[in-house]
Every structure is written in C-alpha cells, then in structure tokens.
Structure 1
Amino acid sequence: MISALGLDLGRKRIGVAGCDGTGLIATGIATIERASFAQDVEQLKQIVEERQVQVLVIGLPYSMDGSLGFQARHVQKLANRLAKALNLPMEYVDERLTSYQAEELLKAENRSPSRHKALIDRKAAALILQQWLDTRRAQSRSSAVAVEY
C-alpha cells in the first residue's frame, strides 16, 4: 500500500490530508497557515516523515471549461517547488468544486463556512486525496479483471 499526502494549495493556507494504512479512506490532518516557502516546507517535511509519505496528491483548480487558468498555473509552480524540496513525486487531481463540496459538508454539520476556513481547506484536501485513492482502486480492479479473461 502507498502512503499519500493530499494537498489543497491556497494563497493563505495549505490543507493537508492523509490516508489510512489500507489506502481506502482519506482524512484531513492539518491546515498550514502559509508563512514563507521555507516554513511551509519545514511543516510539510515533518508530516511527510511522520507518515512515511511516498507521493504528493495535489488538487489542481481547472477552470470550469477544463482549461488551466491563472490559479492553476500558480498551483503548479508551487507544487513543483514543494515536490522538489520534499524530494517526492506528485500527481494532480482535478479539484474543481472540492472547496464547494467541503463548504456543503460543513453546512450539513451546522457549521459556518466563513468561521471554519482552515477546516474547509482540510476537508478539500481529504476530498482531493479520496478522489485519487478511488481512481487508483478502480484502475487496479479493472486491470485485475482484465487479467482474469
């Protein structure tokens, strides 16, 4: 099983999610308040070492038409710098609507999204990582099925 870290990279915060040992369930584990690149890397390094992370899964905010806009290119630049600094491979996941979904989850829990921005970032990171885990599981299942025939 692979240990992956899901990241929701924002200008002010980085939502961080990890997966359980089985690789089935993603949960939000931290929200890093962005300070400097060096401090962000330091905080992520601690999490990477604690969890023996092997890959970064980064949410890429595509535009609704599927193109890469300004924000997505900004995320790619930061993601490349982080992956290099942490010496880890990375994979992108289409994160359109994950922050919206995270806000809806909070509303369902009767919590105010405007008061829980750090929690939204964590939940968004968990949604990003969960999408990646589900996709990997579906791909491994379909390749296992293909082998049987």
Structure 2
Amino acid sequence: MRIGGLDVGEKTIGVALSDELGLTAQALEVIRRRSLEQDLARLDEIARHYGVVRWVVGMPRNMNGTYGPRAELTRAFMERLAGHSGLPVEAWDERLSTMAAERVLLEADVSRARRRKVIDKMAAAVILQGYLDARAARPPESFV
C-alpha cells in the first residue's frame, strides 16, 4: 500500500511515492503535461504498477492562507483524478515546497540544469513527506 504525492503545475506534474509502510516519500518522476487524458492515464499506470491507494495533491495557497486562481485549477484536476482513478484524493498545503526542494538540491550541489529537470518531483516528495509526517502524528482513525 503506497500513497502517491503530486505537485501539479501548468507544464509538468511532479510525482512522488511513499514506501510501503507510509513513512517516507521518494521522488519518482516528472510527467510532461500533454492533455488531461494522457496525464490521468499515466497516473493510472503509476497507481497500478506501484499499488497506490491514495493521491495527495499539493494545494497552492498564498502566504496569508488564501487560495488564488491556481488553487481552483488544482481543485478541478483533483476532482477529475478522483473520478477517473476511483482513488481517494486529498489536498495538502504546498506552500514553500518548491523552495524546500530547491534548498535540498542546492545543498547536494546539484547543477542548475539538473535541478530544473527534477525540481517538480522533489517538490512532490516534500509535499508527500509533510502529509506522511502529519499522518504519523495523528491517531489512525483520523485518516480514513
């Protein structure tokens, strides 16, 4: 049983997966967006191959906690993903996830060109790890 994490952007979708115990998140891949149908089909392939039972999607929020236009697009994507996959889809605050991923890559001395290729899947891993950490801190019955 794995949980998938997504960082949904206009041009790409960063994908991360939990380990089977749901303790750690690992960056998996970056999907170059072509069409909604192709994006959903690729996510279905990933879910089947890795045994994903839930998707966690980074929800863009402003620093003051409000939602902007990008959040509405993300909500619409989440609804389509849930309807298409039949899996639960949950939003998770993605504020500062890209900055955190960038910091990790800089500390690892990853080149600028390489960072551009992996930043979205690293951001997905940061989002998913935040979800997993919060989940571990709560009683199991609060996550259905």
The verdict on a shared fold, with TM-score over 0.5 as the criterion, is yes
- Residue 120 of structure 1: aligned partner: 119
Worse-superposed segment, 111-120 or 23-32: 111-120
- Residue 70 of structure 1: aligned partner: 69
**CA contact 1:106–1:113 (8 Å) conserved in 2:** no
Displacement of 1:83 in angstroms is 1.7
In the alignment, structure 1 residue 50 sits paired with structure 2 residue 49: yes
* Aligned pairs for 1:1-149 within 5 A: 2-113=1-112, 115-140=114-139
- Residue type at the aligned position of 2:55: L
Question: Could you tell me how far apart the structure 2 residues matched to 1:9 and 1:59 are?
Answer: 7
Displacement of 1:29 in angstroms is 0.7
Give the alignment's Cα RMSD to 1 decimal.
1.5
Question: Could you tell me how far apart the structure 2 residues matched to 1:125 and 1:114 are?
Answer: 19
Question: Could you tell me how far apart the structure 1 residues matched to 2:27 and 2:114 are?
Answer: 17
* Cα displacement string for residues 82-120 of structure 1 (whole angstroms, at most 9, x for unaligned residues): 121111111111000000111111111112345432311
- Residue type at the aligned position of 2:136: R
* Cα displacement string for residues 5-43 of structure 1 (whole angstroms, at most 9, x for unaligned residues): 000000000000001111111000111000111111111
Distance 1:113 1:103, change over 3 A: farther
Question: Could you tell me how far apart the structure 1 residues matched to 2:103 and 2:112 are?
Answer: 8
Moved over 6 A (4+): none
Question: Could you tell me how far apart the structure 2 residues matched to 1:100 and 1:139 are?
Answer: 26
Rg bigger for which structure?
Answer: 1
Query: Sequence identity, in percent?
Result: 40
> Which ranges of structure 2 fall in alignment gaps of 5 or more residues?
none
What's the TM-score once normalised by structure 2's chain length? 0.91
Q: Secondary structure at the match of 1:67?
A: coil
**CA contact 1:6–1:58 (8 Å) conserved in 2:** yes
Q: How many pairs are equivalent?
A: 141
What's the TM-score once normalised by structure 1's chain length? 0.89
Question: Could you tell me how far apart the structure 2 residues matched to 1:93 and 1:31 are?
Answer: 19
* Cα displacement string for residues 36-56 of structure 1 (whole angstroms, at most 9, x for unaligned residues): 111111111110001111111
Question: Could you tell me how far apart the structure 2 residues matched to 1:4 and 1:22 are?
Answer: 9
